[in-house]
Amino acid sequence: MELIDAAAAAERLGIKQATLYAYVSRGVLRRRHGEDGRRSLFDAAEVEELARKGRPRRPPGASELVIESRITRLGADRPYYRGRDAIELAREESFETVAEWLWGGLPPLPGEPGQPDAWASDPDGVAAARRALPGGLSPLENLQVITTVLGATDTLRFHLDPASVAATGARLISGLVDALPQAAPATLAGGTVAERLWSRLCPAEPEPALLKALETALVLLADHELAASTLAARVAASAKADPYAVVLTGLGVLSGPLHGGASYGAERLLNEIQDPAQASRLIADRLRRGERIPGYGHTVYKHGDARGEALLALVEAAAPGHPRVEAALAVRKETVRRRLPAANIDFALAALTTVAGMIPAAGEAIFAVARTAGWLAHAMEEYGRRTLLRPRAVYTGP
């Protein structure tokens, strides 16, 4: 049983702590006591169930736009994809299956009678995209070029019905991966999305446990409600921009250091630590300069990101004693000692890419390929509506 304190329970329900204790007195919630006998604790699952029954959430903040969606719900420490725990999905399902779940069960699974491989890329589009890559770009910058070229060569991109968008999504994600420059021998070409992506980001052959960690990362990053890039993608889709334009919009926002680029900062931090004893000084230096610790803290999960914990545990189990694992554990220990915010999935993603020996900024590409599935799920919702997302500004000028 996972127990959370009164502040976390009240925040999840969108109520004041006084209202929380009123729930206790009315028998709506059961309170438990901490070891000291004074601290009030609550069953996280019971709080989640109460939230699902329609108890009031906190009202939107001044900078928040509320959009109804049936895709992802954010729990106390993790997302739920169409009602299913994302961490459990990552344990049990492939990235392709989860993407199809986000898209409402489409496209047809590979191997069905009369159906081609739904997750095959378009050879002509991939060849054109490879020719267009100028060289010297980061993986995320390569993906932006690839998306543009794949869109320009896909004559089916303007079909916006759900089945067509889902089929385009599978073809697009496969094309994004297959068009990336090869980092490892091409023996994995034609495999799963995770296998093919590994060969584009890592020069070494994959160890099964680390390949599973990569697949887990893809699932856990596939969607996260209305993150900044997803909101931008939805705005594009509400204007009926085609799926490639939607993904290109998302990629532009994702590149920011406060979003998908956060793992690159964490990656550089881990690579700086040659000895775990250095972690304390490096963190102190960053704090002294007024910098954030990359991969720590989250705007939604104030008490810890379970996605990051699950992914980091897989990486640690796959490579016990690895220098980058030891560096990650040293950073986590130091942040706990300083009572800094908890690690998030960006930090765990950086641990994966550095332990695996992937090319620089590989985490950004993993994030982008994964989130493409979510962007297109949200685009499908917008394509089914007739209204344009058009926020209004509060004018404060002369």
Average pLDDT over residues 133-159: 96
Query: Residue 141 and residue 134: Cα distance in Å, rounded?
Result: 10
Average pLDDT over residues 211-234: 96
Catalytic residue among 43, 154, 305, 346: 346
- E-strand stretches of the chain: 3-5, 32-33, 40-43, 72-74, 79-81, 84-85
Catalytic residue among 224, 259, 298, 378: 298
Q: Which domain holds residue 321?
A: 262-356
Same structural domain, 124 and 243: yes
Q: Is 285 a catalytic residue?
A: no
Same structural domain, 255 and 267: no
Same structural domain, 247 and 275: no
Which domain CATH number covers 20?
Answer: 1.10.1660.10
Dihedral, 279, 76, 261, 350 alpha carbons, nearest 10: 40
**Residue 67 in contact with residue 234, Cβ under 8 Å?**
yes
Name every residue whose Cβ is closer than 8 Å to that of residue 196 and which is 6 or more positions away in sequence. 174, 177, 178, 188, 189, 190
> pLDDT class for 65, splitting at 50, 70, 90?
low
Sign of CA pseudo-dihedral 148, 153, 159, 164: negative
Is residue 21 situated within a structural domain? yes
- DSSP labels for 112-156? -TT---TT---HHHHHHHHHH--SS--HHHHHHHHHHHHHHH-TT
State the maximum Cα–Cα separation within the chain, in Å, rounded to a whole number.
Answer: 68
Query: Residue 257 and residue 245: Cα distance in Å, rounded?
Result: 22
Q: What is the pLDDT of residues 101-144, one digit of tens each?
A: 999 975 444 444 444 578 999 999 999 999 999 989 999 999 99
- Per the structure, how many domains does the chain have? 3
Same structural domain, 109 and 27: no
Query: Residue 244 and residue 145: Cα distance in Å, rounded?
Result: 11
Q: What is the pLDDT of residues 277-287, one digit of tens each?
A: 999 999 999 89
Same structural domain, 189 and 40: no
Q: Which residue has the higher pLDDT, 331 or 257?
A: 331
Is residue 94 situated within a structural domain? yes
β-pairing, 40-43 with 79-81? unpaired
CA nearest neighbour of 12 among 327, 395, 302, 338: 302
Same structural domain, 152 and 252: yes
User: In the predicted model, is pLDDT for residue 256 greater than 90?
Assistant: no
Is residue 389 situated within a structural domain? no
What would the two tokens of residue 118 be? 């739904």
Per this entry, what is the length of the chain?
Answer: 398
Task: Tell me which of 338, 356, 374 is where a domain ends.
Answer: 356
Q: Is 124 a catalytic residue?
A: no
